[in-house]
């Protein structure tokens, strides 16, 4: 229980120190949220988008999943958790920007390259999810780069951006100039952010 108690201790510190300083902001947010940016990032504990971008409550609508992936648009029956969050962010909250944030040493990307069997019986949810980037993985493996992990991390961001554009409500808003898509990659050990230039396909460090 010590780990959970540490969370409760954190809540108590928040309630005593942080909350009073931001009470006016929380009172405003109680009436509703209007974040201008949606960030799709990995659920990796080392990559918290609010920390990386130094944002406060109400500034960012966040979707976190394994390897920051976006599935292609699918109007069939199913549990579309990621797609539901994207729909709400775009059509419900009218965000103006979507950022796909990848990162170094991603476990999901490693699973895509090496296999994601964690020893549990039955089918692997991870393997099924990572099939979103099967084509990108095969291309990276065929190209045989010096750092396939990083190469696939970068390619996965491009795949997610491409898949975002298969959602009709995103394509329509992007074409109208109401929504802008961005790709970024974060190097954990260096605390360094790289931004994708989609015209060149290259990532450049944010200075």
Residue 116 is predicted with a pLDDT of: 61
pLDDT per residue, tens digit, the chain (207 aa), is: 799 999 999 999 999 999 999 999 999 999 999 999 999 999 999 999 999 999 999 999 999 999 999 999 999 988 999 999 999 999 999 999 999 999 999 999 999 998 766 777 888 889 899 999 999 999 999 999 999 999 999 999 999 999 999 999 999 999 999 999 999 999 999 999 999 999 999 999 999
Please check whether residues 13 and 65 belong to one and the same domain.
Answer: no
Residues 2 and 51 in one domain: no
Same domain, 14 and 78: no
43 and 27 housed in the same domain: no
Residues 23 and 37 in one domain: no
Does 46 lie in the same domain as 27? no
Do 138 and 119 lie in one domain? The reply is: yes
- If phi > 0 it is left, if psi is from -120 to 50 it is alpha, else beta; for residue 132 that is alpha
Whether 6 and 54 map to the same domain: the answer is no
Give the residue numbers spanning the domain of 40: 33-205
Please tell me the distance from the alpha carbon of residue 29 to that of residue 32, in angstroms, as a whole number. Answer: 5
14 and 55: one domain?
no
* Other Cβ atoms within 10 Å of 154 Cβ, number: 22
Q: Tell me, what's the pLDDT at 123?
A: 84
CA 155/CA 140 separation, integer angstroms = 8
Which pLDDT score is estimated for 149? 97
- Tracing tokens 């019986």 back to the chain, one arrives at 121
Is the same domain home to 6 and 56? no
Domain of residue 153, CATH code? 3.40.1050.10
Residues 13 and 37 in one domain: no
- pLDDT tens per residue, range 118-165: 777 888 889 899 999 999 999 999 999 999 999 999 999 999 999 999
Cα–Cα separations (whole angstroms), residue 128 to 66, 79, 108: 11, 14, 11
Question: How many domains is the chain built from?
Answer: 2
- Going by C-alpha positions, the residue among 164, 170, 57 that lies closest to residue 100 is 164
The label of the residue with tokens 């599935």 reads: 71
Q: Are 93 and 118 part of one and the same domain? A: yes
């Amino acid at each position: 229980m010590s780990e959970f108690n540490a969370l409760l201790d954190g809540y108590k510190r928040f309630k005593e120190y942080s909350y009073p300083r931001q009470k006016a902001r929380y009172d405003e947010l109680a009436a509703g949220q209007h974040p201008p940016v949606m960030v799709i990032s990995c659920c990796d504990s080392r990559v918290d988008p609010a920390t990386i971008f130094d944002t406060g409550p109400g500034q960012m609508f966040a979707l976190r999943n394994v390897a920051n992936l976006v599935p292609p648009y699918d109007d069939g029956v199913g549990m579309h958790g990621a797609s539901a969050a994207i729909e709400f962010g775009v059509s419900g909250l009218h965000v103006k920007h979507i950022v796909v944030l990848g990162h170094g040493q991603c476990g999901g990307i490693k699973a895509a390259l090496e296999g994601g069997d964690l020893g549990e019986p039955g089918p692997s949810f991870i393997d099924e999810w990572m099939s979103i980037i099967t084509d990108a993985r095969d291309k990276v493996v065929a190209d045989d780069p010096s750092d396939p992990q990083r190469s696939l991390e970068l390619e996965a961001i491009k795949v997610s951006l491409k898949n975002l554009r298969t959602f009709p409500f995103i394509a329509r808003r992007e074409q109208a100039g109401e929504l802008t898509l961005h790709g970024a990659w974060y190097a954990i050990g260096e605390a360094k952010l790289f931004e994708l230039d989609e015209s060149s396909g290259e990532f450049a460090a944010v200075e």
